[in-house]
Structure 1
């Protein structure tokens, strides 16, 4: 579906591009609900993030008057991804994961400084957007390689998208293809990486160890 969407963008077929884009998040929701029990917190958070991503994908296309919702919906989706990643990041915490804050923080700070001048009244939204984006990139890097790559691609996609929102005059050749290609791939890898770490933990053998049994007579 993602390949069809990218082909539709490249061929300048907006109707097909919008229709295929609207199907991607629901397909990922089906994958999540097929892989995890619905009562599990990770399944609920992932589903919520994908619902928000779905709304971000389709609302502007079907309701042109609502373009101002783009940054807000996408920011909310990123915030829910950060909440989903946080407990898995804590379980895998080590020194290398903490060092990853430096390059990701540098990218986000650079994006903020570049866009702050053109944000105008949207500056508070830009601040929150930058913080949430940094959190997702940082947390995703500390779970497993799939989430690491996925989070990095989302950082790239969101940076290009943020420039189009907050930096007047910013122009990148074929930006739609770059944004959507990295966004769709990044989101899929992020979701699959989270599912993989949850599945691996579920089937991990219990640690062997001595146990003390007290028998009362």
Structure 2
């Protein structure tokens, strides 16, 4: 029988394998395999989270809810009708909101001035992209506004965790920026845009969840990691 640690490693291994298969399917234009593999991302990350941190807390609950929202976005985003695409976007909006709320206490406890200064340009990037893409958003403009706010908040707050969450938030921002340009920016042409979106999304999502796990007490490996030299984060 597998221990929690072994099962956790299995979940991470399957996640990496699924991501590689998905990117490969996109490159080879095997649409059926790409569609079948994408809905597996969030459940595998959820399995990795729950086997790494058996203890329940506010952060674990928020991350779990965020992953469920991401699963809805990954799954419904592949369905054709426009209203399903909107529901998928709402799913990702919910995921970003949950992740931002989970990151907020870490940011309050570890406000590194240098990291904050480096993260400020994130807002400028999102504002510039929003201005460029607003005309092409059409009736989805209110949703795009909400998504831009949630994305900026999540990316900015990700600097308060550790290097893993910081990199994960940055790649999430890059993935959504590429997707927004592909969808809403008239005349934009990015080679391998779909593959780049999914590559940055899968790597960023994995790093964000892994980084959050490293900040939590009660991990199955018994170690705690934090963004500061002497910072220990304890949750009720």
Question: Is the CA contact (8 Å cut-off) linking 2:164 and 2:208 kept in structure 1?
Answer: yes
Any gaps of 5 or more consecutive residues in structure 2? 1-17, 225-229, 231-236
The 5 A counterparts of 1:2-151 are 2-37=19-54, 39-61=56-78, 63-65=79-81, 66-151=84-169
Shift of 1:100: 3.0
CA distance in 2, matches of 1:46, 1:91: 19
CA distance in 2, matches of 1:132, 1:82: 7
Q: 1:175 aligns with which of 168, 187, 193?
A: 193
CA distance in 1, matches of 2:211, 2:218: 11
CA distance in 2, matches of 1:131, 1:101: 14
Shift of 1:26: 0.6
Higher relative contact order (CA 8 A, sep 6+): 2
184-193 or 119-128, which moves further after superposition? 119-128
Shift of 1:162: 1.6
Shift of 1:200: 8.7
Q: Which has the larger radius of gyration?
A: 1
Could you state the TM-score of these two structures normalised by the residue count of structure 2?
0.80
> Relative to 1, partners in 2 of residues 1:56 and 1:96: Cα closer, same or farther, differing over 3 Å?
same
Shift of 1:173: 0.9
Shift of 1:122: 2.3
Any gaps of 5 or more consecutive residues in structure 1? 208-217
CA RMSD of aligned residues (A): 2.0
Aligned to 1:215: none
Shift of 1:101: 3.9
Could you state the TM-score of these two structures normalised by the residue count of structure 1?
0.87
Paired residues in the alignment total 204
CA distance in 2, matches of 1:169, 1:68: 23
Question: Is the CA contact (8 Å cut-off) linking 1:37 and 1:43 kept in structure 2?
Answer: no
